[in-house]
Amino acid sequence: APFIPALAPVVGADAQVPVAAGHRVGYANLDYAASAPALASVAAQVAGALGEYASVHRGAGHLSQVTTRRYEAARETVRGFVRGRVDDSVVFTRNTTDAINLAVHITPGDVVVLDIEHHANLLPWCAPKDGRNRARVVTARATIEDTLVAIEAELASEPASLLAVTAASNVTGEVLPISRLASIAHRHGARILVDAAQLVAHRPISIVSHGIDYLAFSGHKAYAPFGAGVLIGRSDWFDAADPYLAGGGATADVDLRGDENSAGTTWHTGAARHEAGSPNVLGAVSIAEACAALAELGPEAIGLHELELGERLDAGLARIDGVRPLQIFTDSTDRVGIAGFTIDGFAPRAVAEYLSSEHGIGVRDGKFCAHPLLKRLGHPEGAVRASFGAGTTSDDVDRLLNALGALSAGTTTARPELDEGYPA
């Protein structure tokens, strides 16, 4: 098969790592779904921003003004990239987990969720609010079609204010039909929140044309460094809620009046209401640069790159004895660059450690913060996940396939032992 080059340069693409044989080999990073490496263009822009910054929002100095402009411009770049409405609030958070916890804070009422969700879009909703558990968990069915029917039945049975759903599974990569889910939610008077952590860097997302009310994602899965994420969506719930964090920057006026001191505080509306304290400006700038770079690469090119690598990976895995791919739905038609699988006779941790120590290949193993899904798929002990993106070449995929092939065929001297001794 022809060599497939990287779609775009990423930082660390030529990293060398030690292997058991005693030398160093190029690192094959097949763990993009956990955290993608920064695009080289993002790293360059961030270095520039790091070179000239000062306090944001409060200073009159030139660099304060530059920094404030960069921070506010980052909101607009993100809004444009995900085709947000002009009056949506774009709130910077620490990551997707923080964004969804913010969503929990601003939203009223019951929330319908699927059991396939990452814990970040499950556990925050399960915390009691106003004395009751607001999460109503729907078990995903064997097909997407039947799952849509089950969601609709749940929303019809009792009103809910929100449907909170992932756009792509972090375990299998399967993409969910967001527009249809949005129509179902809206038909029953609910809004929809989309966890786009696994989709935003891989497929085009349009808040307007999909009919999304709230969208959450993390920079570190979208070719920006760690530390920043975003929640974007309809401003009325943002503005009606108490501030997520109380403190400086969120207030328009503070007036301590004896016993009723809190009544003297007037909070801002808009994003500032929920962003008290000095914000992660470099994180926001990184996300914006990543969005700009992804827009430049083009969703079609990104999708095609992942499709070609994915077909090569799937075809190779299918030829290896004992490999069992993970799949939630029998009728899914699109998958981002994620392959979840197990290998008969080998604990997931043993496979991941073998790939790393013998071959310099980085994959993820475990339960992927989706324990209910792993249990239901029959893998309570976890699985292996290879995932890739813009910096991945066909060499990375071929190295993985060769290493797994040798493991399965028993032609490697490093034969990981079964289960015992490896934490799941």
Catalytic-role residue among 10, 165, 336, 369: 369
Contact present, 302 and 295 (Cβ < 8 Å): no
Determine if 195 is a binding residue for ligand PMP (CB under 6 A): yes
Does 383 participate in binding ligand PMP (rule CB under 6 A)? no
Nearer to ligand PMP, 54 or 245 (CB): 245
Is residue 356 a contact point for ligand PMP (CB under 6 A)? Answer: no
Please state whether beta strands 361-362 and 28-29 pair in parallel, antiparallel, or not at all (unpaired): parallel
Candidates 10, 49, 120, 317; binder of ligand PMP (CB under 6 A) is 120
The answer to whether residue 121 forms part of the interface with ligand PMP (CB under 6 A) is yes
328 binds ligand PMP (CB under 6 A): no
**DSSP strand pairing (89-93 vs 229-233):** antiparallel
* CB contact at 8 A, 63 and 315: no
CB of 216 to ligand PMP, least distance (A): 8
Q: Check residue 118 for interaction with ligand PMP (CB under 6 A).
A: yes
CB 16 within 8 A of CB 41: no
Q: Are strands 229-233 and 191-195 parallel, antiparallel or unpaired?
A: unpaired
Laid out side by side, the sheet with 323-325 consists of: 323-325, 338-343, 383-387, 364-366
Residue 261: Cβ-neighbour burial (10 angstroms; 0-12, 13-18, 19+): exposed
* Residue 369 a catalytic site member: yes
Judged by CB under 6 A, how many residues of this single chain contact ligand PMP? 15
Per CB under 6 A, 374 contacts ligand PMP = no
Residues 6+ apart with CB under 8 A from 70: 49, 53, 281, 285
Binding of residue 45 to ligand PMP (CB under 6 A) = no
Q: For ligand PMP, which residue of 45, 97, 107, 393 counts as binding (CB under 6 A)?
A: 97
Q: Which part of the chain contacts ligand PMP (CB under 6 A), choosing from 192-200, 255-263, 316-324, 380-388?
A: 192-200
Binding of residue 218 to ligand PMP (CB under 6 A):
yes
| 280 touches ligand PMP by CB under 6 A | no
Interface residue with ligand PMP among 41, 67, 77, 95 (CB under 6 A) is 95
Report the distance separating Cα 117 and Cα 112, nearest Å: 11
d(C-alpha 43, C-alpha 12), whole Å: 11
- Least distance (Å) from ligand PMP to the CB of residue 245? 17
Laid out side by side, the sheet with 162-166 consists of: 89-93, 229-233, 214-218, 191-195, 162-166, 111-114, 135-138
User: Residue numbers of the site for ligand PMP (CB under 6 A)?
Assistant: 95-97, 118, 120-121, 166, 170, 195, 197-198, 218, 220, 229, 369
Catalytic residues: 369
